[in-house]
Amino acid sequence: MARTALICGAGGFIGSHLVKRLKREGFWVRGVDLKFPEFSETEADDFVIADLRDQKNCSAVIDRRFDEVYQLAADMGGAGYIFTGEHDAAIMHNSASINLNVLEGCKNRAIKHVFYSSSACIYPAHNQTDPNDPFTREDSAYPANPDSDYGWEKLFSERLYLSYNRNYGMQCRVARYHNIFGPEGTWTGGREKAPAAICRKIAAAADGDAIEVWGDGLQTRSFLYIDECIDGTLRLARSTVNVPVNIGSDEMVSINELVSMVMALAGKQLEVRHIPGPMGVRGRTSHNELIAKLLGWRPSAPLMQGLQETYPWIESQVMRSRGSNARPYVGTAPRAVAQSHGHQIGA
Ligand code: NAD
């Protein structure tokens, strides 16, 4: 009989890629989300449109002893959503409710293997003030001082999952993702991350135009390509590692360097105008010693390789949104893709 998996947040960026991977591995997959994937038809065997803030909906979708559960659903977004302060109450209420309900549902069905996606945003702000030397080793999370309420909720939920391990004999695994990017990720609307926003701005600009970049562009980050994120997720989910582990790249670049890389890919020379905007911490990269030690693996693909896959996809989205012909991007379905199956509960 096929192994079974539940993916919460299967309509989102990472969740929809994870569905595809688990289907390739031969799983029977149920996806659940508030929405279908935006850019391609879901490959889940069963896709349920449901609000996981409601415990009744959680009980309904967790109706069996799944072999693996992946909890990726969260109220999240890029800096434009998380760091303005305007959405703090919604972020904390919505994401905490989802985590409390999903985990309780799993406990009630005696499900052992639950993966939870935490974030680099849990790391203390005071360790990320130097753009050239940010510190994100896993054990530096405490004393806690995340720079956003999004990070505080993630930290609370990490503890929640680990407490179910201790008190109920579950085997929850917790990853701290660092800036995941790739095709079929949000690229516009305010929730997109830096690589997608920069690709969009450059794709939309004509040679000689100016593009706007938040802050002075000297802030540093690392970005992990989606395929490697899924590799790390599955390795961690199926391991015996019972502490939170970073899943991210340690190739740190400044935002200005990222802009230059994308311009080179696009073959465009554009003026960069630095404007005030939410920036998050000054520097961040993934500290990868623990994952290498515990899993014998760490992400290794160069950033440029992932950008080479991502830029043409975003360019095609920009062109399509303007109604013109883009350079074709093989393997991408049109936006607002029709879904042939799926059903709704709790509406
Ligand atoms: P995403 O926003 O694309 O996916 C999250 C999904 O959760 C969305 O499709 C959304 O509709 C769904 N969701 C939100 N509220 C829901 C609810 N009440 N009921 C059901 N579904 C709901 O985000 P993503 O980039 O795929 O991220 C997945 C997870 O990884 C999130 O928990 C996020 O916090 C975490 N994470 C992501 C990154 C990154 O760089 N993408 C970095 C750190 C952590």
Q: What pTM, to 2 d.p., does this model score?
A: 0.95
Q: How much distance in Å is there from the Cα of 268 to the middle of ligand 1?
A: 32
* Ligand 1 neighbour 193 (Cβ under 6 A): yes
* Ligand 1 neighbour 9 (Cβ under 6 A): yes
In 3D space, the residue among 100, 192, 91, 190 whose CA is nearest the CA of residue 149 turns out to be 91
In 3D space, the residue among 3, 41, 93, 60 whose CA is nearest the CA of residue 344 turns out to be 60
* Ligand 1 neighbour 73 (Cβ under 6 A): yes
Q: How much distance in Å is there from the Cα of 300 to the middle of ligand 1?
A: 24
Q: How much distance in Å is there from the Cα of 8 to the middle of ligand 1?
A: 9
Task: Supply the residue whose CA is at minimum distance from atom 8 of ligand 1.
Answer: 12
Q: How much distance in Å is there from the Cα of 191 to the middle of ligand 1?
A: 11
The token duo for 133 is 């030397």
* Ligand 1 neighbour 176 (Cβ under 6 A): no
pLDDT on residue 150? 95
> Which of 16, 36, 72, 174 to mutate for ligand 1's pocket (most ligand atoms within 8 Å of CB)?
72
* Helix, strand, coil content of the chain in percent (nearest 5): 40, 15, 45
Q: How many CA atoms lie within 13 A of 338 on its CB side?
A: 1
> What is the number of other CB atoms lying within 10 angstroms of the CB of residue 11?
25
* Ligand 1 neighbour 74 (Cβ under 6 A): yes
Q: Annotated active-site positions, please?
A: 150
Q: Which domains does the chain have, with CATH numbers?
A: 4-181+222-250+285-301+324-345 (3.40.50.720)
* Rounded Cα gap, residues 18 and 68, in angstroms: 12
Ligand 1 atom nearest 179 alpha carbon? 40
| Phi, psi angles (nearest 5°) of residue 254 | -80, 160
Task: Enumerate residue ranges in the chain where pLDDT < 50.
Answer: 326-335
* Ligand 1 neighbour 33 (Cβ under 6 A): yes
pLDDT on residue 64? 98
The token duo for 96 is 């905490």
